Structure 1
Amino acid sequence: MRIGENERPVGIQLYGHNIDAMAESAKIATEAKPDLIDINYGCPVKKIANRGAGAGMLRDIPKMIKMTEEIVKATNLPVTVKTRLGWDSDNLVIEDLAERLQDTGIKALTIHGRTRAQMYRGNADWELIGKVKNNPRIHIPIIGNGDIDSPQKAKEAFDKYGVDGVMIGRATYGRPFIFKEIRHFLDYGGEMPPLSLKEKVDLAKLHFNKSVEYKGCPRGVYEMRRHLISYFKGIPHFKEMRMKLVTTIEPEKVLELIDEIYKQFG
């Protein structure tokens, strides 16, 4: 695990279904000197949840609480948790669960506003996130997650639901500047000028090079594909170029394709 000092604060996220293994993982992660340890009780992916890890823990709340207690004891770092509203619409446990997790000693709770059964379908339920935040017995920071894909939605999360922070996931694909857009909107009340195609091309190349440098080839190339598609989403007649971007393996050729985007569509 490499941690760049310029990226702090940095958290290492853990998931699993074995309590002892998770506690030991927390000790190992602590040696990498992150700023916090985060526990993932929210991942809805079938192969993870069906093993009882990630959002699968929502089917065994006593085990989730015990695991959290053991991880808190295993590290001197702040421990945070990310989870969902419940397993399904018949088991919306988050209001009681938030209090129980707080009692384990965690320092913050992130709530994704969907159940595991929803995966990413439908709209995130921010009303329920707001109920947790406004529970007078809750004193740890509550971070909301789900459908934050614009500065306006981020501001609504703060103003209407009172959360202490927002977490952004899928909206960052091909849009790493969304954090800057939100910060600008919150500070000044207006939107930043949109990036030009040339600026997007330059940023995409920087992003791609960093991905390959850090993760190697082909992994760094594969993981950039969804980002590259999103960087240039909305360009008319882009189908042929999009297919090339998601099938080319050689980093040099991918960079050539990104340059070609500006030549063809700029």
Structure 2
Amino acid sequence: MLIFAKNFILPKIGNIELPKFPLLLAPMEDVSDPPFRRLCKIHGADLMYSEFISSEGLIRDAIKSRKKLDIFDYERPVGIQIFGGDEEAMALSAKIVETVQPDLVDINFGCPVKKVVCKGAGAGVLKDIDLMVRLTKAVIESTHLPVTVKTRLGWDNDSINIQEVAERLQETGIKALSIHGRTRAQMYKGEADWTEIAKVKANPNIEIPIFGNGDIDSPEKALEYKKKYGVDGIMIGRAAIGNPWIFNQIKHFLKTGEHLPDPTLAERAEAAKNHLTWACEWKGERTGILETRMHYTNYFKGVSHFKPYRQKLVTSDNLSELIDILDDVSQFENLEI
């Protein structure tokens, strides 16, 4: 039985006006940095978030945490996501976040990785809704920015509590809620269950925008889930890695029912080259080269005879050489998609 949502809620977060049925880029550790966000923005992402940032790290003035606060005007609207399990630390970190003037602050109550959960943060907070509420209140009371939350269905299948979580977080004053349709126990395995997300959206007491997350990897699926589950928008994570075009592809399909052409080999090479260049500008050449290596396989997924070029891309430490390799890739006729 399908669960149909109540009347459509305009996708507005505080004073941030979003287009009808916005597409959000999910915050992903070691992925959602400024170079990657820039590519996704160019290709249609409506709202993006930083990588998640440790509240304790911000307070300690940790270099890595501070670096994640970098945002740029061309990204807007953009939110900075924080996580932690201590109310005072979350409040103080929200004040620090406010100084760089993002459009919103997002709280991560969904990260399932052990090193975060063991600190009583991320998805670890799903086992204690009262703590979740206190942490959220602490952030809201310490900033003038709109506060949103990203979370999961519950800790495991025996403790799915997203219905209670949604109502109680709305009462604290959050302006939107993004829900990943898996439990913490699932990590990223199995299928995401959007029926629970639809129940939240259909709840007559819920007045804030509800965004669904999990398993959206094609325009067809985006349209199906939009119709079937009635959410206000979709958050896309892993499907955007190496494929920033997915946002405009979905938008075009929702509008026309037709597919945009797949990116050409030249367009893939240009995206990879931009990613590399912007990463080097932001992180420094050495770090930019090393951290971009993980993306090449994704940009050229499905390209035949690419292996020799991939080997060069992941072994070269010279920026000019890497640019030349990507220029060559875009022109070689023996490479096919």
Asked whether 1:265 is paired with 2:335, we answer: yes
For 1:36, the equivalent position in structure 2 comes to 104
Give the deviation of 1:246 after TM superposition. Answer: 3.1
- The CA distance in 1 between the partners of 2:126 and 2:312, in whole Å, is 41
For 2:310, the equivalent position in structure 1 comes to 242
For 1:75, the equivalent position in structure 2 comes to 143
Deviation string for 1:62-86 (max 9, x for gaps)?
1111000110111111000000011
Give the deviation of 1:258 after TM superposition. Answer: 2.0
- The residue identity in structure 1 corresponding to 2:128 is D
- The CA distance in 2 between the partners of 1:250 and 1:56, in whole Å, is 42
1:14 and 1:39 in contact (8 A); partners too: yes
Give the deviation of 1:230 after TM superposition. Answer: 0.7
Question: SS at the partner of 2:141?
Answer: helix
For 1:185, the equivalent position in structure 2 comes to 253
- The residue identity in structure 2 corresponding to 1:95 is Q
2:305 and 2:335 in contact (8 A); partners too: no
Query: Which of these residues, 209, 229, 233, is aligned with residue 141 of structure 1?
Result: 209
- The residue identity in structure 2 corresponding to 1:76 is H
Question: SS at the partner of 1:256?
Answer: helix
- The CA distance in 2 between the partners of 1:249 and 1:144, in whole Å, is 40
User: Hey, which of these two has a bigger chunk of helix by percent?
Assistant: 1
- The CA distance in 2 between the partners of 1:17 and 1:36, in whole Å, is 20
Asked whether 1:84 is paired with 2:148, we answer: no
Aligned pairs, number: 266
Give the deviation of 1:56 after TM superposition. Answer: 1.2
Pairing of 1:1-266 with structure 2 (within 5 A): 1-262=69-330, 263=332, 265=335
Q: Which runs of 5+ in 1 are unaligned?
A: none
- The CA distance in 2 between the partners of 1:226 and 1:176, in whole Å, is 15
- The CA distance in 1 between the partners of 2:284 and 2:133, in whole Å, is 38
- The residue identity in structure 2 corresponding to 1:133 is K
Give the deviation of 1:224 after TM superposition. Answer: 2.1
Deviation string for 1:116-141 (max 9, x for gaps)?
11111011111111111111111110
Question: SS at the partner of 1:87?
Answer: coil
- The CA distance in 2 between the partners of 1:191 and 1:102, in whole Å, is 37
Question: SS at the partner of 1:223?
Answer: helix
Deviation string for 1:129-154 (max 9, x for gaps)?
11111111111100000011111111
Percent identical across equivalent pairs?
A: 55
- The CA distance in 1 between the partners of 2:209 and 2:186, in whole Å, is 25
- The residue identity in structure 1 corresponding to 2:335 is F
Shift in CA distance, 218/15, structure 1 to aligned 2, threshold 3 Å? farther
- The CA distance in 2 between the partners of 1:226 and 1:163, in whole Å, is 32
Q: Which moved more, 1:236-245 or 1:22-31?
A: 236-245
Question: SS at the partner of 1:265?
Answer: coil
Q: Which runs of 5+ in 2 are unaligned?
A: 1-68
Aligned CA RMSD, in angstroms, stands at 1.5
Q: Which moved more, 1:95-104 or 1:223-232?
A: 223-232
Give the deviation of 1:59 after TM superposition. Answer: 1.9
- The CA distance in 1 between the partners of 2:241 and 2:191, in whole Å, is 19
Give the deviation of 1:243 after TM superposition. Answer: 3.5
TM-score, normalization: structure 1? Answer: 0.94
